[in-house]
Amino acid sequence: MQKISSQKIAQVLEDAQNKLLSLTSERDDLAQKVAMMERRGEAAKLASVMHDKGIRMDTDFGDLVLELEKAAEDGRLPIIKEAVEMVAPNMGGMNGSLVSDERPGNGSTSFESYILGDVG
């Protein structure tokens, strides 16, 4: 059996330590990039659903994705997602309007209609 000197063992251990540290750093960087890509994917999917439902149509799709990514970083994306799920399709574009139920009477103005008994 061949004997290995303590210097060679120390060198091998040092090389292994350096390699493990570099691999750990690379793994952490890649995990961070994967998390960022997943966050972007979730934000893009939610932005698409929002535009399909008529929500935030005044905001460009790319800008909306960026806003949602920032919200995801702050941990607010699940709340926004839940709120979007509560909105019915095309509900974002609906606006209320006021309609007068009063029908003009025989008079041409409200005063004349009142006098003639059609108003009030």
Which residues make Cβ contacts (< 8 Å) with residue 77, sequence separation at least 6? 39, 42, 43, 46, 68, 71
More confident residue, 115 or 17: 17
Task: Summarize pLDDT for 55-79 with one digit per residue, the tens.
Answer: 999 999 999 999 999 999 999 999 9
Confidence of residue 33 (pLDDT cuts 50, 70, 90): very high
The length of the chain is: 120
Tokens of 113: 């209609």
* CA-based torsion, 55, 57, 62, 66: positive or negative: negative
Please report, for the chain, the start and end positions of each structural domain, with discontinuous segments joined by +.
Answer: 6-94
Q: What CA–CA distance (Å, rounded) separates 18 from 49? A: 47
What's the rounded Cα separation, in Å, for the pair 35 and 24? Answer: 16
94: closest CA among 40, 43, 57? 57
Q: In this structure, is the dihedral angle defined by the CA atoms of residues 31, 33, 38 and 42, taken in order, positive or negative?
A: positive
Amino acid letter at 72? Answer: A
Q: What is the pTM of this model?
A: 0.60
pLDDT at 2: 74
Rg (CA), the chain: 33
